[in-house]
Structure 1
Amino acid sequence: MMLSAQLLAASTEPTSGGWYDTVLFPFKWVTAWVLVGIHRGLTTLGLPEGPGITWVLSIVVLTIFVRLLIIPLFIKQIKSTRGMSAIQPEIKKIQEKYKGRNDQVSKQQMSQETMNLYKQYGVNPMASCFPLLIQLPILAALYRVLWQMPLIASQPGAHIGGFDSTLAAEMDKSTVFGVYLSDTFTNTASNPTTTKILIIVSVLLYAGLMFFQQFINMKHNMNTSNAQQMRMMKMMVYLMPLMTAWFGFIVQIGVLVYLVVTMVVSFIQQIFVMYYLPTPGSTAHDAQMRRHQVKYDSFKEETLAEYNQKLMDLGLSGEDVAKALRLEVKATRKGEDDPFSGIENGEKLREGLALHKETQDHLHKKAQDLELEEKPKKPVKQSKMMAALQKQARQQAGMQPGVRNAQAQPKRLTRAQRDAQAKRRRAAGQLSEEEKAKRRQARRNNNAGKKGNQNR
């Protein structure tokens, strides 16, 4: 029984940070196993085992793996940010509509209209937070894993995830420029001066990369028409590096490696975004449009050359195609089905016109793909509730879907009068033709009597 208790104690973590470690336990377990797995993969490729560069590279690969994992969320964040920028005028209209109305009903209506606007344009205001929400638990887990490496290494049988005391000792003794991965600015097992210098350089590198990335984004990938957004971005460019720099002085060297590599990868992603997914209205977007215009001009030149060659093979010219277009327009006006029947060389004209239309369609589609022409917008889907309400209103008015109400109700009638007329129309729909004829004759006689009385 004592042996079982000892084994149970050895299978648990050596220390606990209370609720913090309890909440982070799943992330720590996954992070530890991923690090061990990456290390095994690198050693299989021929990198050295034991303490050394392989464990440092394991953190680098972990960082790249996390960044690749959140690429879909990163792209969604970009699209959502663009959408939020595009609908700002509509949001302002809603805010002006409810300005000064602080009652609960008005607040709910304003919130509902805003949410409907988000849904209509496919925008999620929280999308910009998703990449950060994924990275924060991993960053915190890596911090706690590195913090526990010396403790696990000193207790045979202890473990965290895939780390046992042997692997923990290897990672704990791995260094970056002579500084252990688990060293911090205030707590170091290596040379204190070297540790502090390395941490300061790493923090400056991290903050500098963040500033440079945000500055380039503001300079080349921001829509300058939104003055409020530009002011906010300018403030964030200078404040964010300062706000995050202090973090580097409380975490380990291993976490700083993760942060610096994250900023390097993030900077590369930003360059990719500026080139392929720039913000409309920015200088980067203008540059993309110029590149797209060059691509379109080259495509158009090749397509027209191929088109003219096919026309020559048919024995046709541009004038023949223009003639075919005029014949088609003329036949359409007259309601004729075949504009080329009975015309000399009619079949070739038909082929030449079809080739012309196909070529124009290809050019039009290419222009749309390169965003030189706006694609047709998809109709907004109607909500089920709104469709049901409209259907109910048509049924109450005795109307069929898609049928124009020829007897539209004048606004001067009361509701009781409109209900009475609707009831008579529904009843009229159930009368026989003979009864309908009698009622029409009775109305004529009644109208004639009214006119006779007016003449007297």
Structure 2
Amino acid sequence: MDFFGTIMGPFKWLVSAVMVGIHDVLSTTGMPAASGWTWTVSIIGLVLIIRAALIPVFLRQVSAQRRMRLLQPDLKKLQDKYKGKTDQLSRQAMAQEQMALYKEHRTNPLSACLPMLIQVPFFFALFQVLSGIPAAAREARGIGAMTHEQAVQFDDSSIFGAPLSASVLHGGGGDQVAVLVLTIVMILAMTASQFITQRRIVARTVPDEAADNPLARQQRVILYILPLVFGVGGVLFPIGVLIYWTTTNLWTMAQQFTIK
């Protein structure tokens, strides 16, 4: 197993174990075990569990955003102090003073990205599990905590005619028109919620009077780049991964609007 696979192994097992656990609970309540909707609710449940566990991290993120906003006048003064100075010593001095300000205010520009960074291993783990399910179903083996029987169930399950393990570029059976339409709908929901959330982060972090400083420019780049990345990359993701990412983006957007 390669180094990346070794690192992702525990995350793959945890992600699949949570999905299987929720699926088993839903099955005992009367939902069909082989239904795509049962597995869809299992994926949504996985998101809710992960995001609920990250609420303390999100609250620290909000606090860090507030400190970044309070820091803007000092950053503006620092920017004015070194305006027009492009020599190496000036750039180093400016960077050192900027880091000192971040340390004094106990924050940094990456604070707003922390919850998303923590989710990245779980996202890749789910991507690997769902992408590997068709092969596991064919080769009579399980994947992660999912048994071979459950892999077959998932591989055969679909919603609106689109298999959960299918993607636009890699196929996966089922109605390809349904796969394309469902992918487009979820990409639009995913990117729109990502854009709204990031715009709210920018408004909370950067005051109007600091709109031209480096942090503001960095935040504006993120504002437009992240939705673009997820929008373009969405055609590579299985439907199940798109369900996960759309749900987590909607959760994040709701948190931004409800928690102050």
Choose between structure 1 and 2 for higher RCO, CA contacts under 8 A separated by at least 6 residues: 2
Alignment check: 8 A CA contact 1:224 1:230 kept: no
Quote the offset at 1:215 in angstroms.
4.9
Paired letter, 2:131:
W
Q: Does 1:164 align with 2:147?
A: yes
Pair 1:131 & 2:115 matched = yes
Structure 1 pair 63–77 and aligned structure 2 pair: CA distance change class (3 A): same
Of residues 39, 57, 61 in structure 1, which corresponds to 2:41? 57
1:196-235 aligned within 5 A: 196-215=180-199, 223-228=207-212
Q: Return the match for 1:177 from 149, 152, 160.
A: 160
Distance 1:234 1:124 in 2: 16
Give the structure 2 partner of residue 255 of structure 1: 241
Task: Give secondary structure in 2 for the equivalent of 1:159.
Answer: coil
Q: CA deviation at 1:102?
A: 2.9
Distance 1:124 1:230 in 2: 13
Provide closer, same or farther for how the CA distance between residues 93 and 226 of structure 1 changes in structure 2, counting only shifts above 3 A: closer
TM-score, normalising length from structure 2?
0.84
CA contact (8 A) 1:208 1:241 kept: yes
Q: What is residue 349 of structure 1 aligned with on the other side?
A: none
Residue 268 of structure 1: which of 216, 234, 254 is its match? 254
Cα offset, 1:117, TM superposition: 2.8
Structure 1 residues 20 and 122, CA gap change in structure 2 (3 angstroms):
closer
Equivalent residue letter for 2:103 = K
1:360-439 maps to which residues of 2 (within 5 A)? none
Rounded Cα–Cα distance in structure 1 between residues aligned with 2:224 and 2:97: 35
Percent of aligned positions that are identical: 33
- Which of the residues 189, 213, 235 maps onto 2:173? 189
Task: Determine the C-alpha separation between the residues in 1 that align with 2:68 and 2:203.
Answer: 19
Residue 102, structure 1, aligned to residue 82, structure 2: no
Number of residues of Structure 1 aligned to a counterpart in Structure 2: 255
- 1:272-283 → structure 2 map (5 Å cutoff): 272-273=258-259, 277=260
Q: Distance in 1 between matches of 2:218 and 2:116?
A: 19
Deviation at 1:238, TM superposition (A): 4.2
Q: Residues of 2 paired with 1:235 and 1:119: CA distance?
A: 24
Name 1:145's counterpart in structure 2: 129
| Cα deviation, residue 232, structure 1 | 5.7
Tell me the SS of whatever aligns to 2:88. Answer: coil
**Structure 1 position 70 matched with structure 2 position 54:** yes
Distance 1:89 1:217, change over 3 A: closer
CA 257–32 in structure 1, closer or farther in 2 if over 3 Å, else same: same
User: Where in structure 2 are there 5+ consecutive unaligned residues?
Assistant: none
Whether the aligned pair in 2 keeps the contact of 1:153 and 1:164 (CA below 8 Å) is no
User: 1:93 and 1:223 mapped to 2: Cα distance?
Assistant: 14
Change (3 A) 1:206 1:140: same
Change (3 A) 1:118 1:222: closer
CA RMSD of aligned residues (A): 2.9
Give 2:24's match in structure 1, choosing from 24, 34, 40: 40
Task: Give the corresponding residue for 1:83.
Answer: 67
Q: Does the 8 Å CA contact 1:152/1:164 hold for their aligned counterparts?
A: no
SS at match of 2:107: coil
Give TM-score, length-normalised by structure 1: 0.50
Go from structure 1 to structure 2 and tell me whether the alpha carbon gap of 1:20 and 1:230 turns closer, same or farther (over 3 Å shift).
closer
CA contact (8 A) 2:66 2:204 kept: no
SS in 1 for 2:209: coil
Would the aligned equivalents of 1:205 and 1:260 in 2 still touch at CA under 8 Å? yes
- Which secondary structure does the structure 1 equivalent of 2:208 belong to? coil
Distance 1:261 1:80, change over 3 A: same
Whether the 8 Å CA contact 1:154–1:165 is kept in 2: the answer is no
- Whichever residue aligns with residue 259 of structure 1, its letter is W
Once the two structures are superposed, residues 322-379 of structure 1 have per-residue CA deviations (whole angstroms, 9 ceiling, x without a partner) of xxxxxxxxxxxxxxxxxxxxxxxxxxxxxxxxxxxxxxxxxxxxxxxxxxxxxxxxxx
Q: Residues of 2 paired with 1:216 and 1:119: CA distance?
A: 24
What amino acid is aligned across from residue 163 of structure 2 in structure 1? Y
From the superposition, tell whether residues 126 and 151 of structure 1 become closer, same or farther in structure 2 (CA, over 3 Å).
same
One-letter amino acid of the counterpart of residue 104, structure 2: Q
Quick one: which of 228, 231, 246 aligns to 1:245?
Answer: 231
What is the CA–CA distance in structure 2 between the aligned matches of 1:123 and 1:116, rounded to whole Å? 10
Larger C-alpha radius of gyration, 1 or 2?
Answer: 1
Partner of 1:347: none
